[in-house]
């Protein structure tokens, strides 16, 4: 039986200052089976280039820096796309041209190569219509992926949604240039996601009729909060943007959350890249900062407790939910609290350990966000016995258990507090936390946390030091944090 390999697919993009979102974009296309991502950095100053450079070690990601990025943006796009296409034509069957705010979503396929394998040989290019998303009510840029933060989009009859972006069969390309949306073909049909021949408007790249979005669409996150819009207006010298342009494009009529099914895999990949970045930075600091041999650490300057509900039942994080430990034999995902008034301030940090006593990355508030190993909270007495309220730092709201599949806890106002909002701490089983992790904590919290602290414990155990960073970095002096971020190459979100 003859074996036919799946089509080789590449995606090309030009990016600038996308440090907060670039990992989600890369992870999205990797999840969808894109073999090669070719990224041209157009003068980023926020660490985007450094993040992509770290991601290169996990996948076939080819990073280029645009030199002398002056002149018209459209002309630069033309020259870069033509260069990339001529090179990729030698090795790849299909090439997609998608901006970093454009996510191709296929209705009935989890893989772009598998989708393209079923496309008729008489098709030379597929144009996927925009599905323009609004701000979903965000004024400030949310600290989470675009797919999670923005889930309201415009109606298909909005004129802007007639724009398409292209997946091009490389041997069907004529070698000529039209624009960034449409590529001239020497043979084959230009079809939409439904397989119907595209009828252009007076401008190629914009169709004569509204899209149906059947088969696939481009999730276009152009309006990413008012804050992002202002930043974009400052950055784009080739266009003039006004306040009314924001409200004109801020369309949020339809709710659509299907793309969120990919977020878990995208976040896991993003976490892997971030951990690599932290390891790189720590290794650099080990070579830059010399640490004198320290005395053996004695004494413990912190307290660890097991987190329980109002009934004293231990809590576990399992399948995106917080549940009690009752009648459970495999206590994977137990939740704990660490406190050190001397070195961690007047806060508690919740963390989770697996059955071997090592840290798990979780997100207490929303499993659509990238998980972290420690979550910072304010703990206050509830006034009812020894029960405690746990309060978020960001919005001063309180945690309440709810057990929903996607949101393990909800955040509520003080007036909504009930028994599901009450927590307690109890002594923990010393076997629940790995000895090497405990010793590293003991070392890290033996004195004031500084950059030298990170270097000292990284020399001892690099991997576990990375997992402790969400606990330690917020407690660094500001000058030390800035030095760490300088070596890292981007700001920590």
The string of pLDDT tens digits covering residues 457-466 is 999 999 999 9
For residue 281, pLDDT over 50 is answered with: yes
Separation of alpha carbons 264 and 269, rounded Å = 9
Local confidence band at 1 (pLDDT 50, 70, 90 cut-offs): very low
Segment 94-111 mean pLDDT: 96
Task: Tell me what percent of the residues of the chain surpass a pLDDT of 70.
Answer: 93
| Collapsed DSSP state (helix, strand, coil) of residue 14 | strand
| 74: CB partners within 8 A, 6+ apart | 180, 238
What confidence score (pLDDT) does residue 114 get?
95
> What six digits make up the tokens of 291?
């640490």
pLDDT value at residue 386:
81
Domains and CATH numbers, the chain: 9-256 (3.90.550), 290-488 (2.80.10.50)
The DSSP call for residue 395 is T
The answer to whether the beta carbons of residues 467 and 373 sit under 8 Å apart is yes
pLDDT, tens only, 132-185: 999 998 888 887 888 888 999 999 999 999 999 999 999 999 999 999 999 999
Q: Which residues contact 154 (CB under 8 A, 6 or more apart)?
A: 131, 132, 133, 134, 160, 161, 251, 252, 253, 254
Q: Any idea what DSSP says for residue 417? A: -
Q: Is the pLDDT of residue 279 over 60?
A: yes
**For 222-276, how does the pLDDT look when each residue is reduced to its tens digit (9 = 90+)?**
888 888 888 777 766 666 777 778 888 889 999 998 999 999 899 999 999 999 9
Lookup: tokens for 234: 């400052």
299-334 burial code (b ≥16 CB/10 A, e <16)? eebbebbbbbbbeeebbbbbebbbbbbeeeeeeebb
Q: At what angle do helices 263-288 and 451-460 cross, to 10 degrees?
A: 100
Find out whether 169 and 118 touch, Cβ atoms under 8 Å: no
Rounded to the nearest angstrom, the gap between the alpha carbon of residue 410 and the centroid of all alpha carbons in its chain is: 21
DSSP code for 421: G
């Amino acid at each position: 039986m003859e074996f036919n390999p799946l089509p080789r697919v590449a995606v090309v993009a030009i990016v600038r200052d996308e440090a907060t979102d670039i990992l989600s974009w890369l992870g999205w296309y990797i999840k969808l089976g894109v073999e090669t991502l070719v990224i041209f950095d157009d003068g980023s100053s926020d660490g985007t280039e450094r993040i992509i450079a770290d991601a290169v070690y996990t996948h076939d990601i080819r990073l280029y820096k645009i030199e002398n990025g002056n002149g018209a943006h459209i002309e630069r796009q033309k020259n870069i796309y033509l260069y990339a296409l001529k090179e990729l034509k030698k090795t790849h069957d299909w090439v997609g041209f998608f901006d970093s705010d454009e996510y191709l979503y296929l209705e009935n396929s989890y893989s772009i190569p598998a989708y393209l394998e079923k496309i008729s040989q008489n098709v030379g290019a597929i144009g996927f219509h925009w599905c323009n998303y609004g701000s979903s009510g965000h004024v400030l840029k949310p600290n989470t992926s675009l797919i999670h933060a923005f889930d309201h989009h415009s109606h298909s009859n909005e004129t802007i949604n007639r724009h398409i972006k292209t997946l091009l069969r490389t041997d069907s390309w004529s070698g000529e240039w039209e624009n960034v949306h449409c590529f001239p073909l020497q043979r084959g049909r230009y079809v939409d996601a439904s397989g119907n021949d595209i009828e252009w408007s007076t401008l190629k790249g914009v169709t004569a009729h509204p899209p149906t979005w059947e088969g696939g669409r481009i999730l276009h996150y152009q309006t990413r909060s008012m804050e992002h819009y202002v930043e974009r207006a400052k950055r784009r010298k080739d266009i003039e943007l006004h306040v009314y342009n924001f409200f004109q494009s801020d369309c949020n009529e339809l709710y659509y959350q299907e793309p969120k099914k990919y977020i878990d895999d995208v976040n896991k990949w993003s976490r892997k890249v971030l951990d690599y970045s932290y390891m790189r930075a720590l290794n650099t600091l080990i070579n830059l900062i010399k640490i004198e041999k320290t005395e053996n650490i004695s004494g413990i300057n912190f307290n660890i407790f097991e987190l329980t509900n109002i009934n004293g039942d231990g809590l576990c994080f399992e399948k995106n939910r917080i549940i009690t430990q009752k009648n459970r034999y495999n206590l994977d995902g137990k939740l704990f609290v660490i406190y050190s008034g001397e070195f961690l301030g007047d806060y508690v940090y919740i963390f989770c350990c697996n059955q071997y006593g090592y840290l798990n990355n979780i997100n207490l508030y929303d499993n659509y966000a990238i998980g972290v190993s420690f979550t910072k909270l304010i703990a206050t007495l509830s006034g009812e016995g020894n029960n405690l309220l746990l309060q978020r730092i960001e919005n001063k709201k309180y945690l309440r258990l709810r057990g929903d599949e996607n949101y393990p806890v909800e955040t509520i106002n003080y007036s909504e507090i009930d028994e599901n909002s009450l927590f307690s701490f109890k002594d923990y089983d010393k076997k629940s936390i790995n000895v090497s992790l405990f010793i590293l904590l003991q070392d890290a919290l033996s004195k004031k946390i500084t950059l030298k602290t990170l270097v000292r414990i990284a020399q001892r155990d690099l991997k576990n030091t990375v997992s402790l960073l969400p606990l330690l970095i917020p407690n660094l002096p500001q000058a030390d944090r800035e030095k760490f971020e300088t070596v890292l190459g981007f700001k920590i979100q």
